[in-house]
Amino acid sequence: MDVKRVKDYLYWLYYQYQLVTCSYVLEPWEQSMFHTITVTVLAMVVYTAYVFVPIHVRLALEFFSQMFGSRPEGAV
């Protein structure tokens, strides 16, 4: 893959991000604050999903398996 095409594509994605969020009209210091807050919130959402979603899925599977009549692992 051509490096220039990848660079152009990433620049296009960043441009689309600026258009969607209307951050292109902000001053440079406002843009840096906006991007910092956006990245921080996104990182917190990803971390929370990584930590808590597997726990909730396991609990839901246990609940539904008990609800539909399968035996718990400890019962014989």
Q: Do the domain assignments include residue 42?
A: yes
Residue ranges of the chain whose pLDDT lies below 70: 1, 70-76
Number of domains comprising the chain: 1
Residue 12 placed within a domain: yes
For residue 70, the model assigns a pLDDT of 63
pLDDT confidence of residue 66: 87
Q: What is the pLDDT of residues 19-33, one digit of tens each?
A: 999 998 999 999 999
In a domain, 13, yes or no: yes
Six token digits for residue 1: 């893959």
Evaluate whether residue 7 is within a structural domain. Answer: yes
C-alpha span between 43 and 30 (Å, rounded): 20
Q: Has residue 36 been placed in a domain?
A: yes
The DSSP symbol for 26 reads S
Residue type, 45: V
pLDDT of residue 69: 76
